[in-house]
């Protein structure tokens, strides 16, 4: 009974933590979209566009507008796809919106993000980080679609989760940037690190959690073999 109570409390705390993260990310996404009043037309006194008059020409403006319009849509779609993946009642919409997501990310979100990376605020180190994130996003959505078509759903889910983490990484970037400002630790170096760690850390954390779950399941299934391996 005690073990069951502990398990129940753990699930409750896990649900509360997940809900808190969802609310926080939703709030950040809404705050980002609310800033769009400064982008139509471009207000170069706004935070993101401050000092970008020189770079806001050529291919950058189309990439910028495509990205800020399509990226929030891709995030919302990714959230729905993550929630609906294991629900049979959502199967038809999951497949249809999954195809739309593939087009959206490969055709618009990732290419526009890659173009914008060339004009990253704090130079090439951050730019390469953002560019690699865009490439990784395109790769993961491609692999997720590939394994879905092969009906290998466990591997599909793994790649789809990585794609979701990459799409929400800009929200995590914004949260960390806000913390740096509040704590008065903002700097070019911190910005550059944030450009890399905001998407690498969540992906690595997911793989660690996934590995621990598989190891725990293997221990329950073959406890004697696991003990011999550890010895």
Could you read off the pLDDT of 82-119 as tens digits, one per residue? 988 777 778 889 999 999 999 999 999 999 999 999 98
**Percent of the chain topping pLDDT 70:** 89
Nearest to 196 by CA among 174, 173, 171: 173
- 121 inside domain: yes
pLDDT at site 91: 82
Mean pLDDT for the stretch of residues 7-22: 69
Predicted confidence band of residue 20 (pLDDT cuts 50, 70, 90)? confident
Supply the DSSP symbol for 26.
H
Instruction: Tell whether 91 is covered by a domain.
Output: yes
Within-domain flag for 25: no
Would you give the end-to-end CA distance of the chain in angstroms?
Answer: 32
Residue 177 has pLDDT above 60, yes or no: yes
pTM for the predicted model, two decimal places: 0.86
Q: Which two tokens stand for residue 2?
A: 């005690």
What is the per-residue pLDDT for 49? 84
* Residue 102 falls inside a structural domain: yes
Mean pLDDT of 120-129: 90
Say what the pLDDT of residue 47 is.
78
State yes or no: pLDDT of 226 exceeds 70. Answer: no
Work out how many domains the chain is built from and give that number. 1
8 Å CB contact between 184 and 105:
no
Which tops the pLDDT comparison, 21 or 36? 36
Residue pair 53/44 in contact by the 8 Å Cβ criterion: yes
Q: Is residue 19 part of a domain?
A: no
| Residue 13, in any domain of the structure | no
Q: Model confidence over 193-214: pLDDT tens digits?
A: 999 999 999 999 999 999 988 8
Residue 11 confidence (pLDDT): 67
Give the three-class secondary structure for 39. Answer: strand
For tokens 């073999």, name the residue: 225
- How many Cβ atoms from other residues are within 10 Å of residue 25's Cβ? 17
Structural domain containing residue 69: 34-213
- Cβ atoms of 134 and 113 closer than 8 Å: yes
Assigned domain for 204 exists: yes
CB atoms closer than 10 angstroms to residue 158: 18
Distance, C-alpha 202 to centroid of its chain: 8
Specify the pLDDT at position 184. Answer: 87
Both structure tokens of 120? 């990253």
Q: Report how far residue 166's alpha carbon sits from residue 116's, in angstroms, rounded to the nearest whole number.
A: 16
Is position 195 within any domain? yes
């Amino acid at each position: 009974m005690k073990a069951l109570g502990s398990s129940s409390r753990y699930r409750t705390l896990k649900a509360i933590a997940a809900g808190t993260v969802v609310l926080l990310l939703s709030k950040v996404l809404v705050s980002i979209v609310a800033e769009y009043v400064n982008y139509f037309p471009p207000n170069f006194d706004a935070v993101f566009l401050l000092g970008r008059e020189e770079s806001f020409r050529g291919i950058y403006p189309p990439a910028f507008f495509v990205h800020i319009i399509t990226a929030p849509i891709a995030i919302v779609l990714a959230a729905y796809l993550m929630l609906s993946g294991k629900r049979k009642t959502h199967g038809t919409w999951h497949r249809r919106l999954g195809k739309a997501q593939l087009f959206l990310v490969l055709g618009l979100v990732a290419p526009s993000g890659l173009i914008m990376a060339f004009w990253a605020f704090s130079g090439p180190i951050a730019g390469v980080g953002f560019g690699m994130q865009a490439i990784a996003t395109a790769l993961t959505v491609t692999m997720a679609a590939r394994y879905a078509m092969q009906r290998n759903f466990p591997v599909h889910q793994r790649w789809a989760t990585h794609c979701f983490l990459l799409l929400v990484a800009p929200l995590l970037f914004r949260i960390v940037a806000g913390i740096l400002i509040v704590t008065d630790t903002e700097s070019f170096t911190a910005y550059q690190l944030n450009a890399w760690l905001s998407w690498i850390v969540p992906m690595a954390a997911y793989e660690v959690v996934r590995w621990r779950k598989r190891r725990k399941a293997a221990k329950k299934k073959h406890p004697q073999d696991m003990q011999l391996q550890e010895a």
